[in-house]
C-alpha cells in the first residue's frame, strides 16, 4: 500500500489488454496519463507488431498483457466512521478498497452521528481526502436520524455533496413517509435508495424461511418480506413519477416484479451483492455467523434467479454491501449475532465468477462494477475517457487465490466467503494517476 502524495508525472501503461465496458473497448494497446488525467489510450499508441510509441522521459509500466480497466465503483459501503471506528474507519475501508481495485465508493449514512446534516457530509469528505486512498462519496439519510419518521433536508444535503439518499440498512416502514420522500425527491430530481424488507414480517427472523431454517430451528425471514416492500415502493415511485433504487435484491420473485415495472416505464433500478449470486442458505452450515446477512442468504432457486436477472439486465449493478462487524458481534449464538459481511476485498474476484462461470463475458462482468453504478449515481468514474481522472485498475483475471478472513485488509474480517477459492487478482490500483496499491507482477522501467 502506498501513501505517497507526490503529484504524478507522465506515465504510459504499455502492453495492456484495455477494457472499457462503457464503450465496448476490448483490445491490446496502451494508455498514457499526465498528472491526474488520462490523455490518450488505444491501439494507436503501438508501433509495429512489438514496439510501443513512447516518447522519452515518460515513466513506462509494462502491463505484460494483463487487463487494464477503469477503477471499480462500489455503491454500497458501511465504513464505521464516524462513531463505530472499532468496526472500521474511512482509512481502513480505503485500504481494503484499493487492495480490491475499488477507486470510488459510496458510504451509507448509518454512522454516529448519522449523515443527515451538512457538517457530517463535510466531515466524511475531509477525512477521505486526508487518507488519500479510494474516493469516497456519501449518501445522505432520507429521514432524520434514519428513524423513518421526519424527512431530512435532502436538498441541502445534496448541495453539500450527498450523491443519493437512503436510510441504509434500515427500511422506511411507513408508506406515508416514503411517499413524502419520493415527492420531495422529485422536486430536486434526487435518487432514493431503500432497503426492501417489510419489517413486521422480518421481525425476529435470522435466516431465509425454508427447510434449512426448520432443520436448524431458526426463525425465518420469508421471501415475501422483500417482495411486498419492492411492490410497495415501485407503486409509490410510479405514482410520484420519481426515480427509485432498490438495494441488494436477493429473491427471484422481487426480480420478476422489478422487470415488469421496468417494462411499463417505472423509473426503478436495483443492485445485488455477491452473496446473493455466489452463495445460498446452505452456507450457514452449522450456525456460521459470518453467513448471517441482511437480507439473508436465500434458496438455490433464488440464487440462480439472481444470476438470470444480472444476465438479462433486470439487475443494474453489483455492490459489495460491505458491512463490517467486530468479532464480539459474531462470536455469539446465531440468533444474537449481528447481520453483515465485509466485501471490499472480494467484490472484484467474486464478480469475476460470473465471467469464469460463463454467465457474462469479461466486459459484461466488469460493467457491473464500473460504469453502471457510476451512471446510477452520476459519478465521474467508471470509464476510460480522455480528460477523465486516471482512476485505473490492472488485474490478472486468471490468477487464483483463496479468501482467508484472517488475511483480509478490512479492519473487520467477517466474510461469508472464508475459505473460498477464487480467480482474479488486482495487480495495481491507480487513483488520480498515483499508484496506491501494487502487487508483484507487472514490471516497471
Which residue, chain included where needed, has cell 471490499?
Answer: 344
Which residues face 268 on adjacent strands?
244
- For residue 321, indicate whether it is catalytic: yes
- The answer to whether 196 touches 170, Cβ cutoff 8 Å, is no
Give the DSSP letter of residue 389. Answer: B
Q: In whole angstroms, what is the distance from residue 145 CA to residue 152 CA?
A: 8
d(CA 15, CA 3) in angstroms, rounded, equals 26
Phi, psi of 137 (to 5 degrees): -120, 140
**Which listed residue (321, 345, 371, 391) is catalytic?**
321
SS3 assignment, position 139: coil
Cell numbers representing residue 147 in the block: 428513524
The DSSP bridge partners found for residue 192 are: 165, 244
Residues 160, 118 contacting (CB under 8 angstroms) = yes
Report the residue count for the chain: 445
With b for 16 or more beta-carbon neighbours within 10 A and e for fewer, the 271-294 pattern comes to bbbbbbbbbbbebbeebebbbbbb
Q: Are 164 and 75 in contact (CB under 8 A)?
A: no
Distance in angstroms (rounded) separating the CA atoms of residues 114 and 213: 34
Cβ distance 80 to 89 under 8 Å?
yes
| Strands annotated E in 78-139 | 102-107, 135-138
Q: Which residues contact 306 (CB under 8 A, 6 or more apart)?
A: 249, 250, 251, 252, 255, 272, 276, 277, 315
Taking CA 234 as the corner, what is the angle to CA 264 and CA 360, rounded to the nearest 5 degrees?
Answer: 70
* End-to-end CA, the chain: 20
Contact 135, 106 (CB under 8 A): no
| Cell of residue 320, nine digits | 459489495
Active-site positions?
321
Amino acid at each position: 500500500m502506498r501513501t505517497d502524495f507526490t503529484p504524478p508525472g507522465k506515465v504510459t501503461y504499455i502492453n495492456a489488454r484495455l477494457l472499457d465496458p462503457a464503450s465496448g473497448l476490448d483490445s491490446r494497446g496502451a494508455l498514457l496519463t499526465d498528472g491526474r488525467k488520462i490523455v490518450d489510450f488505444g491501439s494507436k499508441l503501438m508501433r509495429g507488431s512489438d514496439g510501443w510509441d513512447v516518447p522519452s522521459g515518460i515513466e513506462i509500466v509494462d502491463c505484460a498483457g494483463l487487463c487494464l480497466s477503469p477503477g471499480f465503483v462500489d455503491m454500497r459501503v458501511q465504513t464505521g466512521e464516524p462513531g463505530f471506528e472499532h468496526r472500521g474507519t474511512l482509512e481502513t475501508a480505503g485500504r481494503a478498497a484499493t487492495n480490491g481495485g475499488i477507486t470510488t465508493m459510496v458510504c451509507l449514512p448509518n454512522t454516529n452521528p448519522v449523515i443527515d446534516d451538512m457538517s457530517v457530509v463535510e466531515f466524511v469528505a475531509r477525512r477521505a481526502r486526508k487518507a488519500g486512498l479510494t474516493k469516497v462519496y456519501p449518501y445522505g439519510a432520507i429521514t432524520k436520524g434514519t428513524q423513518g419518521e421526519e424527512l431530512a433536508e435532502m436538498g441541502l444535503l445534496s448541495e453539500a455533496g450527498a450523491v443519493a439518499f437512503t436510510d441504509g440498512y434500515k427500511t422506511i416502514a411507513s408508506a406515508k413517509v416514503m411517499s413524502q420522500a419520493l415527492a420531495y425527491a422529485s422536486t430536486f430530481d434526487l435518487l432514493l435508495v431503500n432497503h426492501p424488507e417489510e419489517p413486521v414480517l422480518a421481525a425476529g427472523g435470522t435466516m431465509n424461511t425454508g427447510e434449512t431454517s426448520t432443520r436448524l430451528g431458526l426463525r425465518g425471514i420469508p421471501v415475501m418480506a422483500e417482495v411486498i416492500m419492492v411492490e410497495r415502493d415501485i407503486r409509490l415511485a410510479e405514482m410520484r413519477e420519481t426515480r427509485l433504487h432498490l438495494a441488494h435484491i436477493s429473491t427471484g420473485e422481487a426480480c420478476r416484479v422489478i422487470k415488469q415495472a421496468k417494462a411499463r416505464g417505472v423509473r426503478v433500478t436495483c443492485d445485488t451483492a455477491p452473496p446473493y449470486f455466489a452463495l445460498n442458505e446452505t452456507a450457514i452450515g452449522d450456525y456460521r455467523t459470518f453467513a448471517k446477512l441482511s437480507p439473508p442468504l436465500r434458496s438455490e432457486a433464488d440464487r440462480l434467479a439472481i444470476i438470470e436477472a444480472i444476465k438479462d439486465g433486470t439487475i443494474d449493478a453489483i455492490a459489495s454491501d460491505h458491512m463490517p462487524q467486530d468479532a464480539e458481534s459474531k462470536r455469539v449464538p446465531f440468533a444474537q449475532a449481528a447481520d453483515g459481511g465485509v466485501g471490499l476485498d472480494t467484490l472484484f474476484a467474486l464478480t469475476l465468477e460470473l465471467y469464469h462461470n460463463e454467465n457474462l463475458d469479461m466486459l459484461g462482468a466488469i460493467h457491473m462494477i464500473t460504469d453502471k453504478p457510476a451512471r446510477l449515481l452520476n459519478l465521474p468514474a467508471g470509464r476510460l475517457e480522455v480528460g477523465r481522472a486516471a482512476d485505473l485498475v490492472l488485474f490478472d483475471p486468471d490468477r487464483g487465490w483463496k479468501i482467508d478472513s484472517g488475511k483480509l485488509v478490512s479492519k473487520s474480517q467477517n466474510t461469508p466467503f472464508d475459505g473460498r477459492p477464487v480467480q482474479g487478482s488486482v495487480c495495481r490500483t491507480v487513483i488520480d494517476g498515483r499508484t496506491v496499491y501494487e502487487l508483484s507482477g507487472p514490471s516497471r522501467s
